[in-house]
Chains A and B, each alone.
Chain A
Amino acid sequence: MEKDPAKRLVVAPLLEPTEQLSGTQASIDVRLGCEFRLASAANINVLDELADAQTNPFVDLPRLYNNLYVPLGGGVTIHPHQLVLAHTLEYIRLPQDLMAYVVGRSSFGRLGLIVATAIGVHPNFYGPLTLEIRNLGEAPLRLYPGQTIAQLFFHTLDPIAEQRLWGEPDVRFGTFAPSNEPVPNRVSSKRTSSRLRAFRKRRDEADSQLRAVGQIKEAP
């Protein structure tokens, strides 16, 4: 084990180390945790990050999901085409020179279960990983906390490359950034969102002028 905690890779607890760290594969198997967020479409109108909260009060993303904690022994059923957010059981902490990819296990893939659509995990990350799980199969699937559901592949990073890009060392090194709540509060950053709103406003104004001179017909 790496003595320096800043440089240590943590994927723990490994409940069955010999099974999860098989010598024949280049990855670590991770298990399904106990935290779930289940989508309930009835709670929302439409997911539009630029929508005005006044006119579309249901745009609040967390309202889309119900929280569920399922202890070991319990289970969750995912119906065809349902999306579920879940945590890994393992706590992950990546040092500054490592990143990881999350890939679903093929045995689940063959049942139609897709795991992790946002698969990159950045250096200095800490916390459980959020898994986006979707059942693309034809039959409902029952999932149980503790099942090995995905794999982590690691890549070492060259900090010099980042330095070349920015021209200076990254100040984040040595400070760890937490995993986010599984349900995002927003899709884009504040800056991007604000820029996109400005574009939309300009376009709406232009449309309005064209409508005034009759070049755009009002919808019936």
Chain B
Amino acid sequence: METTARFYLERMRLQIERAKRSHFPGASDVPARWLAYIDGKLKTAELGLNGLKDLPSDARTDLQAEWLLTRILSCDEDLDVLARADTTQVADFVVTALMRWFKAVDHTSEYLFTSDNVFEVSQLFEDNLQEAEATHPDHIEAIRRLGKTVYRIRMPGGALGTALHVPLVAHEVGHVLIFAFLEEIESEIAPFCAELGEEQAEILTNWIVEIVADTICGFVAGPAGFFALHEKLRGNNVPDENYPQNYVRTSSLAYFVHRKYKSVFAANKVRKADWKDWAIRSDADLLTEIEEHSDYANLSRRLIEALPQIRDIASKFARIHIPDLEYLPARYAADLEMHLESFLFAIPPFETDGDLRSRKPTELASILNVAWFIAAFRLDKLRIKVADVADKKGKLLVALDQLILKAIELSELRRQWEDDDERPSTQETARTPDGEGSGKTSRRRTSA
């Protein structure tokens, strides 16, 4: 057993060296610290193996060697976290832009962005899950350097990634805000679960948390949050312990967006008929669609009846804790006024207009909202030449997607150029890891 453990110890070290050669987004040095943590974990295991060397082989030492082997093999799972975190999977500039949202919510935590086929946030590491067995000084130091809490943000990237879905990451921002102020939000949710059994109360709490995160998504990402959620949740799912029916969520966010940005839509001549692709239901309609005999009929009714209050709680909660992230109607109006017409003529909104010397980079939420306004209501006016007329819509959406990415990239480059005088670069530390980290699998997780 000790021989096998030593073999895998060396194999893992080779894999760590390979991972160190990957390029990770410069906005976060978590990959470097995470690799250092895995390295430290191996060093602790090696100390354990060295301690066994002079002992006689018996059942006790075999058991110890087997346990060390398990620890070594668990490093493969730890390394797997980084397999989809390099810049070929998650674009450097998208991470930089999103990082500002998350840091505004909780700047004491760290964030690791990875590509997946779902949107999800989970805690990769919590400081109270310290590894009691850490004996090597590098391992202990790695746990210390990894920080208090590390969130792993999963979102579609690589071939699956689309810039039009980036607003959905604001839903995960909502979840991080909920994690950060859990007691506060739980005390607001508790009255809705009165008189319910423990199991039912837990399910309703999960559903309400999703509605709160959806509303925060609209608060941060504006109407773009609704359009992206609507596209992502198309179709009627069956409710389960974690999620209510999709149409309840999309209709709730639609109501929030319609009410908040009504005057902007009106000023930009969005007619009722223009919403035909974005089917939404009133609260009354939602109630009539409940399947009376389903397991969740009672909870669905409770949730739908509580939607107006839940949205108010979520808005108030967000205004208290992340007021600077609110995408205001006045801002939406100004963004459309400044960028919509230009965007239709293939000029993406990466900077403000006006005098060349006083231009400023555009905010992520502004880029996403102007783009989604076009995708939802003005795609036929996009003046871009496409070769295949038969699939014109698809081609135009791909062109729009590329323009959004270019806008995010250029706005971030301008921002970095202007900010860089004072700040030391984090890119080198991200690429040449010299720190340490510690790891745990996800405890709390949720997804859009």
**Chain A contacts to B: CB under 8 angstroms:** 1, 5-6, 8, 10, 12-15, 17-18, 21, 34, 67, 69, 71-74, 89, 91, 93, 124, 126-128, 146, 172, 174-178
Report if A176-B410 is in contact (Cβ < 8 Å); known contacts: A6-B345, A72-B420: no
Most buried by B among A126, A172, A174, A177: A126
Please determine whether A175 and B385 come into contact, CB atoms closer than 8 angstroms. yes
Give every chain B residue within 8 A of A71 (Cβ-Cβ). 26, 92-93, 427
Chain B, 406-443, CB within 8 A of any chain A CB: 406, 409-410, 413-414, 416-417, 420, 425, 427-428
Segment among B158-166, B207-215, B348-356 that sits at the interface with chain A = B348-356
Please determine whether A91 and B427 come into contact, CB atoms closer than 8 angstroms. no
Please determine whether A73 and B427 come into contact, CB atoms closer than 8 angstroms. yes
Contact indicator per residue, chain B 306-350, by CB within 8 Å of chain A (1) or not (0): 000000000000000000000000000000000001101111101
Please determine whether A178 and B399 come into contact, CB atoms closer than 8 angstroms. yes
Report if A5-B347 is in contact (Cβ < 8 Å); known contacts: A69-B87, A71-B427, A176-B384: yes
Chain B, 345-382, CB within 8 A of any chain A CB: 345-348, 350-351, 353-354, 356-357, 359, 361
Q: Is B302 an interface residue (CB 8 A)?
A: no
Shortest beta-carbon distance from A14 to chain B in Å:
6
Contact indicator per residue, chain B 123-142, by CB within 8 Å of chain A (1) or not (0): 00000000000000000000
Shortest beta-carbon distance from B358 to chain A in Å:
10
Measured as residues with beta carbon below 8 angstroms from the partner, the interface class of chain B is 35 or more
* Cα distance, A175 to B341, chains bound together (Å): 14
Most buried by B among A18, A34, A71, A74: A71
Please determine whether B406 and A177 come into contact, CB atoms closer than 8 angstroms. no
Please determine whether A172 and B353 come into contact, CB atoms closer than 8 angstroms. no
Please determine whether B384 and A17 come into contact, CB atoms closer than 8 angstroms. no
Please determine whether B413 and A13 come into contact, CB atoms closer than 8 angstroms. yes
Shortest beta-carbon distance from B406 to chain A in Å:
6
Add 5 more A-B contacts to A13-B410, A89-B413, A91-B350 (CB < 8 A).
A5-B342, A13-B361, A91-B410, A93-B345, A175-B383
Give every chain A residue within 8 A of B23 (Cβ-Cβ). 69
* Cα distance, A79 to B413, chains bound together (Å): 27
Shortest beta-carbon distance from B129 to chain A in Å:
32
* Cα distance, A6 to B91, chains bound together (Å): 31
Shortest beta-carbon distance from A102 to chain B in Å:
19
Shortest beta-carbon distance from A96 to chain B in Å:
11
Report if A18-B347 is in contact (Cβ < 8 Å); known contacts: A72-B417, A178-B384: no
Give every chain A residue within 8 A of B344 (Cβ-Cβ). 5
List of 9 A-B pairs having minimum Cβ-Cβ separation, nearest first: A5-B345, A176-B346, A17-B356, A126-B346, A177-B385, A5-B342, A73-B425, A13-B414, A15-B417
Give every chain A residue within 8 A of B92 (Cβ-Cβ). 34, 69, 71
Report if A15-B414 is in contact (Cβ < 8 Å); known contacts: A34-B409, A72-B420: yes
Q: In this complex, what residue of A is CB-closest to B416? A: A72
Contact for A6 among B357, B383, B414, B416, CB less than 8 A: B383
Report if A13-B359 is in contact (Cβ < 8 Å); known contacts: A69-B87, A178-B385, A178-B399: yes
Give every chain B residue within 8 A of A17 (Cβ-Cβ). 356-357
Please determine whether B406 and A91 come into contact, CB atoms closer than 8 angstroms. yes
Please determine whether B342 and A74 come into contact, CB atoms closer than 8 angstroms. no
Chain B, 71-105, CB within 8 A of any chain A CB: 87-88, 91-93
* Cα distance, A8 to B345, chains bound together (Å): 9
Give every chain A residue within 8 A of B427 (Cβ-Cβ). 71, 73-74
Give every chain A residue within 8 A of B413 (Cβ-Cβ). 13, 15, 34, 72, 89, 146
Please determine whether B384 and A8 come into contact, CB atoms closer than 8 angstroms. no
Report if A12-B383 is in contact (Cβ < 8 Å); known contacts: A5-B344, A73-B425: no
Please determine whether A21 and B356 come into contact, CB atoms closer than 8 angstroms. yes
Give every chain A residue within 8 A of B87 (Cβ-Cβ). 69
* Cα distance, A69 to B88, chains bound together (Å): 8
Contact for B384 among A10, A34, A175, CB less than 8 A: A175
Give every chain B residue within 8 A of A174 (Cβ-Cβ). 383
Give every chain A residue within 8 A of B425 (Cβ-Cβ). 73
> Can you show 17 pairs from A to B with CB atoms below 8 A apart?
A5-B342, A12-B350, A13-B350, A13-B410, A14-B356, A15-B417, A34-B92, A71-B93, A72-B413, A91-B347, A93-B345, A146-B417, A172-B385, A174-B383, A175-B383, A175-B385, A178-B346
Give every chain B residue within 8 A of A13 (Cβ-Cβ). 350-351, 359, 361, 410, 413-414
Shortest beta-carbon distance from A114 to chain B in Å:
25
Shortest beta-carbon distance from A6 to chain B in Å:
5
Give every chain A residue within 8 A of B402 (Cβ-Cβ). 178
Give every chain A residue within 8 A of B428 (Cβ-Cβ). 73
Please determine whether B342 and A18 come into contact, CB atoms closer than 8 angstroms. no
Shortest beta-carbon distance from A7 to chain B in Å:
9
Shortest beta-carbon distance from A62 to chain B in Å:
15
